[in-house]
């Protein structure tokens, strides 16, 4: 881990001790949800130990750690699959707190951020919809919000909404007319997903008990640790005042980036902590298990698995650290690096845990050890917060567009070959089409 300011390092050590001494002994059996009363009790202990809400500004009751130093603390929290929930820094609450702190009004912060930061309520972020609505492609957003006097009326279906079975409020992403107009104008804008591309979106803060909010069928996913589910949620003509708009109307897609860049990086941090735990389990087993006359840890094939996992963990750690430094700066750079880190970390963490499963044999795939459940916990991370493919699509497009701009600004193309008249004349002699010829061809194209 990188050198930390003394107060952050002290918090990291306190967090590490708290997770190992208090949280790990209270973990439920693999595949069993953490009971709400156990969670409340552990959260009370975390507050007493001064380790609760590390990321939350002190004025809202947290530890006030700056974002560039979150990673070491979040990794300590993630060393237990229940650690982030106990410390109040789990998704989606942590990302929602970040948004509220950044763009919420003072009244919204008082009403939603304060109880959320204190762990008194939970929250959900409602973006994904049943097909053909928003999933990988947010511009397919089908949930709509229309103005009606001073109110907004939200209508649409969402699904996979984490924590919705217990959350106190939702941040709802809805398509809104770019002109901020009337229902008729907004209706005129509706159409296919492609037609809606480029349309504005707005985020709304919606209390769970608002008329028209219906939490529907649960979706059983492979993760098990934290209760709250990922159910369907219907917003059936939900009427909210204009004070429920989070930030400005029409800026929902931009705010989603404000939320998602750090939110996906903090997922990397937490899951990297769990990968470290999996490696420790594998190392302890490899050190003590003897097969064919030698302990596993001294056998080359096992060492290969261990070494690859160490490399994955350290590479992921370095990428997270680099990305965390730019999160508060240039937004385009933050989005770009966090996409890269998300792809690498989500795949690396899965590989590390999978190798740990392999090294621990039958115990690895059973409930005798927690590893197969860890694998289930991290598998969805390759899909939510942008799937690997969605991010690779964006990474590749950004790379191409950066290079196009450079070449358009005069940088010589690097792919230009000498052409047929130069074939066979590469003996280096005075008549050959050597580097000079290639240079002039490049210059020709660049013009």
Ligand X SMILES: Cc1cc2nc3c(=O)[nH]c(=O)nc-3n(C[C@H](O)[C@H](O)[C@H](O)COP(=O)(O)OP(=O)(O)OC[C@H]3O[C@@H](n4cnc5c(N)ncnc54)[C@H](O)[C@@H]3O)c2cc1C
Residue 33 in the binding site for ligand X (CB under 6 A): no
Q: Of 31, 24, 81, which Cα lies nearest the Cα of 365? A: 31
DSSP state of 19: I
Whether 264 and 182 have beta carbons less than 8 Å apart is answered as no
Residue with Cβ nearer ligand X (115 or 380): 380
Stretch in the footprint of ligand X (CB under 6 A) among 58-66, 341-349, 368-376, 378-386 = 378-386
Residue with Cβ nearer ligand X (11 or 141): 141
What whole-number distance in Å separates Cα of residue 406 and Cα of residue 384? 33
Provide φ and ψ at 262, rounded to 5°.
-70, -35
Least distance from ligand X to the Cβ atom of residue 123, Å: 10
Applying CB under 6 A, among 380, 412, 416, 432 the residue interacting with ligand X is 380
Whether 405 and 253 have beta carbons less than 8 Å apart is answered as no
Q: Which residue is nearest to ligand X (CB)?
A: 135
Applying CB under 6 A, among 100, 127, 215, 306 the residue interacting with ligand X is 127
What whole-number distance in Å separates Cα of residue 58 and Cα of residue 424? 72
Residue with Cβ nearer ligand X (64 or 380): 380
199 Rama sector, left if φ>0, alpha if ψ -120 to 50, beta otherwise: beta
Least distance from ligand X to the Cβ atom of residue 385, Å: 7
Least distance from ligand X to the Cβ atom of residue 68, Å: 26
Stretch in the footprint of ligand X (CB under 6 A) among 112-120, 265-273, 278-286, 385-393 = 385-393
Q: What residues between 208 and 227 interact with ligand X by CB under 6 A? A: 221, 223
Binding mask 64-103 for ligand X (x = CB under 6 A): ----------------------------x-----------
Size of the site for ligand X (CB under 6 A): 21
Whether 231 and 37 have beta carbons less than 8 Å apart is answered as no
Residue 230 in the binding site for ligand X (CB under 6 A): yes
Whether 395 and 344 have beta carbons less than 8 Å apart is answered as no
Applying CB under 6 A, among 2, 40, 58, 136 the residue interacting with ligand X is 136
Neighbouring residues of 191: CB distance < 8 A, sequence distance ≥ 6 = none
Sign of torsion over alpha carbons 402, 408, 410, 414: positive
What whole-number distance in Å separates Cα of residue 311 and Cα of residue 303? 12
Binding mask 409-428 for ligand X (x = CB under 6 A): --------------------
Distance of CA 115 to the CA centre of its chain: 23
Least distance from ligand X to the Cβ atom of residue 10, Å: 33
Stretch in the footprint of ligand X (CB under 6 A) among 80-88, 127-135, 207-215, 403-411 = 127-135
- Residue 391 CA: distances (Å) to CA of 170, 261, 409: 25, 12, 27
Stretch in the footprint of ligand X (CB under 6 A) among 104-112, 126-134, 289-297, 363-371 = 126-134
Residue spans of alpha helices (H) in 19-119: 36-48, 70-78, 83-86, 93-103, 106-108, 114-117
What whole-number distance in Å separates Cα of residue 327 and Cα of residue 122? 25
Stretch in the footprint of ligand X (CB under 6 A) among 53-61, 370-378, 387-395, 422-430 = 387-395
Residue 185 in the binding site for ligand X (CB under 6 A): no
Binding mask 333-372 for ligand X (x = CB under 6 A): ----------------------------------------
Residue 128 in the binding site for ligand X (CB under 6 A): yes
Least distance from ligand X to the Cβ atom of residue 344, Å: 16
Residue with Cβ nearer ligand X (335 or 390): 390
Least distance from ligand X to the Cβ atom of residue 409, Å: 28
Residue 390 in the binding site for ligand X (CB under 6 A): yes
Applying CB under 6 A, among 116, 146, 161, 320 the residue interacting with ligand X is 161
Whether 226 and 165 have beta carbons less than 8 Å apart is answered as no
Residue with Cβ nearer ligand X (63 or 143): 143
Give long-range contacts, CB 8 A cutoff, 24+ apart: 398-404. Answer: 398/336
Q: How many residues does the chain have?
A: 447
In the numeric block, the tokens 């698995």 are attached to 305
What whole-number distance in Å separates Cα of residue 430 and Cα of residue 90? 68
How do beta strands 294-295 and 290-291 pair?
Answer: antiparallel
Applying CB under 6 A, among 75, 162, 199, 323 the residue interacting with ligand X is 162
Provide φ and ψ at 154, rounded to 5°.
-110, 130
Binding site for ligand X (CB under 6 A): 92, 124-128, 135-136, 160-162, 221, 223, 230, 380, 383-384, 387, 389-390, 393
């Amino acid at each position: 881990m990188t050198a930390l300011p003394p107060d952050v390092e002290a918090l990291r050590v306190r967090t590490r001790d708290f997770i190992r001494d208090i949280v790990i002994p209270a973990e439920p059996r693999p595949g069993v949800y953490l009971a709400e009363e156990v969670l409340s009790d552990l959260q009370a202990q975390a507050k007493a130990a001064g380790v609760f809400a590390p990321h939350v500004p002190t004025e809202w009751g947290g530890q006030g750690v700056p974002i560039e130093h979150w990673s070491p603390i979040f990794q300590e929290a993630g060393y237990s699959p229940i650690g982030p929930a106990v410390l109040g820094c789990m998704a989606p609450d942590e990302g929602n707190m970040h948004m509220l702190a950044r763009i919420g009004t003072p009244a919204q912060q008082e009403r939603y951020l304060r109880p959320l930061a204190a762990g008194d309520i939970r929250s959900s972020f409602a973006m994904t919809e049943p097909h053909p609505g928003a999933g990988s492609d947010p511009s397919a957003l089908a949930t709509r919000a229309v103005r009606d006097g001073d109110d907004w009326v939200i209508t649409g279906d969402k699904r996979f909404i984490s924590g919705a079975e217990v959350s106190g409020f939702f941040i709802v992403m809805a398509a809104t007319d770019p002109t901020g107009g009337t229902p008729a104008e907004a209706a005129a804008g509706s159409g296919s997903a492609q037609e809606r591309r480029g349309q504005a979106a707005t985020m709304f803060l919606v209390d769970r008990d608002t008329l028209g909010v219906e939490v529907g069928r649960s979706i059983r996913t492979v993760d098990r640790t934290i209760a709250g589910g990922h159910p369907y949620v219907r917003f059936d003509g939900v009427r909210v005042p204009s004070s429920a708009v989070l930030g400005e109307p029409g800026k929902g897609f931009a705010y989603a980036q404000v939320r998602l860049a750090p939110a996906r990086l903090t997922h990397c941090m937490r899951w990297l902590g769990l990968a470290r735990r999996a490696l420790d389990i594998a190392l302890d087993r490899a050190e003590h298990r003897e097969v064919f006359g030698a302990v596993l840890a001294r056998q080359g094939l096992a060492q290969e698995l261990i070494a690859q996992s160490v490399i994955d963990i350290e590479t992921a750690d370095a990428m997270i650290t680099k990305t965390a430094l730019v999160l508060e700066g240039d937004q385009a750079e933050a989005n770009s690096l966090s996409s890269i880190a998300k792809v690498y970390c989500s795949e690396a963490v899965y590989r590390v845990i999978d190798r740990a499963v392999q090294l621990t044999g039958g115990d690895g795939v059973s409930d005798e050890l927690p590893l197969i459940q860890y694998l289930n916990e991290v598998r969805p991370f390759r899909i939510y917060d942008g799937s690997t493919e969605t991010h690779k699509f964006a990474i590749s497009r950004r790379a191409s567009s950066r290079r196009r701009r450079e070449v358009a600004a005069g940088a010589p193309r690097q792919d230009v070959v000498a052409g047929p008249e130069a074939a066979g004349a590469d003996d280096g002699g005075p008549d050959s089409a050597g580097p000079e010829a290639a240079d002039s061809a490049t210059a020709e194209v660049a013009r």
